Amino acid sequence: MPVQWAGLSPELLLTVDRDNGEHLRAQLERQLRDAIRTGRLRSGERLPSSRELARALGLSRGLVQDAYAQLRAEGYLVTRVGSATRVAPATPAPPATAPPPTPPKVAPRLIADFRHGVPDLASFPRGDWLWAVREAARTMPTADLDYGDPRGSQALREIVAAYLRRVRAAAADPAHTVVVSGYAQGLALAFQVLARAGVRAVAHEEPGAPATVTAAARAAGLSAVPVPVDADGLDVTALEATGAKAVVVTPAHQWPTGVALAPARRRALSAWALHRGGLVIEDDYDAEFRYDREPFGALQGLAPDRVISIGTVSKSLAPALRIGWLLSPPALTPRLVEAKRIADRGTPTLDQLALALLIESGRYDRHLRRMRTTYAARRTTLVAALAEHAPRVRLTGLAAGFHAVAHLPDGAEEDTVIGAALARGVGLYGMSACRSVPAAGPARLVLGFGDVPERAIAEGIARVGDLLG
């Protein structure tokens, strides 16, 4: 479908050379013909009016009208009474330079897609966000439209720091808070700073998010080393044996097992960072959602000089907002700020101010309370559906967040179960993708229920219960 350009007359880049000896009308016809043949102008696209094109090129309107008429006669353009001149629907095809691309495969229609890591997108508070954006645009000082501080908006940094001190027991200081465009950028900036400081290897949890960490580490010139996770979280003794000077952890709700880093392990990890001169990168990704356990504060609050804590609104609001923050050790702040400045000169200020208003007004907390109720109901539905249709499957990792781990019976194969479920219209995802060596571990599924309505959860599990055991 052609783009429908709004406005009185869309601009079009054409040039004429009055010194090359070729007639001006011939030049215009040739350039328009070439633009259509090569696909620069697509079928159905509107051209500038003859008056506007003549003005832009310094030509007479009659010359442009004659060129348009010639191209209409050749079948390149069409004109209707009272309508603009457009590229004809069936114009001569450009010469084939490569075989046509293979059409993309159409994804099967799923009755339930247990994709993990995605919140309930339909529950994004559009009305509150629109209010916040309008209010931010209305009240923001003119100076805030400039490039500003690469750390981010002062208003958002103050609000985020106060919020994290209140709900995460973090040692948050606006001066050492850096606003970033999501977790991926925060991790990349941290790795860049570590590499420049002489770090050569970074450890990560196993299972965890090896693809994300490894790719970011490789881009910064670092190697990535897996460290096992057990029922108490990251094995700090195994971490010490790696020789790595930095580690990425998810202490509040380990991804993907769902365990919390035990108090003794938290103390041990803080001690490792202090004695080793190491750095902990804390991914505080969904700590807002907990159900039947005591809250855990941010690890950064225990060792603010040795922990970079990364948080975002990707799980609490929506990934598309691309807003997050780093709580930086004071010694690293100048280097992180410089890396952020080089990367993009700063995250969009209007969105930062809108988020600050959303949090300060209480609308953010209200949204979180509503979503905790929603996710708790979906968790209950998932537990009940599996108990009815796959009673041999054991669920863990349900104390927080919006995903669970399903332990398949002995002998089950993840890929076989996933493929059979897909044929029945249900999307399932294995824990193998969360391991550095996919086959190293028992068969488990990571069942995300954040973006799956209760009815779809029940129907999906009923459809594949016999496959799960």
pLDDT category at 89 given cuts 50, 70, 90 is confident
pLDDT digits (tens, 9 = 90+) for 299-320: 999 999 999 999 999 999 999 9
Model confidence at 78, pLDDT cuts 50, 70, 90, reads very high
**So what's the pLDDT on residue 1?**
59
8 A C-beta contact, residue 238 and residue 271: no
**What secondary structure letter does DSSP report for 83?**
S
The average pLDDT across 59-77 equals 93
Give, in degrees to the nearest 5, the angle at Cα 463 between 461 and 466: 85
Lowest average pLDDT, out of 44-53, 92-101, 264-273, 401-410, goes to 92-101
- Provide the percentage of residues in the chain whose pLDDT is more than 90: 82
Residue 428 confidence (pLDDT) above 90: yes
Report whether pLDDT(94) > 60. Answer: no
- Domains of the chain: which residue ranges? 1-102, 112-119+368-468, 124-361
147-204 pLDDT, tens digit per residue, is 999 999 999 999 999 999 999 999 999 999 999 999 999 999 999 999 999 999 999 9
Q: What's the pLDDT at 150?
A: 96
Q: Is the pLDDT confidence value at 96 over 60? A: no
CA distance linking residue 339 with residue 333, whole number of Å:
10
The b-or-e profile of 375-408 (16+ CB within 10 A means b, else e) is: beebbebbeebbeebbeebebebbbbbbbbbbbb
What CATH number has the domain spanning 112-119+368-468?
A: 3.90.1150.10
Mean pLDDT, residues 206-216: 95
**What pLDDT band is residue 80 in, cutting at 50, 70 and 90?**
confident
Please check whether the domain covering 1-102 is classified as CATH 1.10.10.10.
Answer: yes
User: Could you give the CA distance from residue 378 to residue 376 in angstroms, rounded to a whole number?
Assistant: 5
Question: For 88-102, 117-131, 374-388, which range has the lowest pLDDT when averaged over its residues?
Answer: 88-102
Upstream peptide bond of 256 is cis (omega within 30 degrees of 0) = yes
Q: What is the CATH number of domain 124-361?
A: 3.40.640.10
Return the CA Rg of the chain: 28
The pLDDT of residue 419 is: 97
Give the strand pairing for 324-327 and 177-180: antiparallel
pLDDT score of 100 more than 70: no
Average pLDDT, the chain: 92
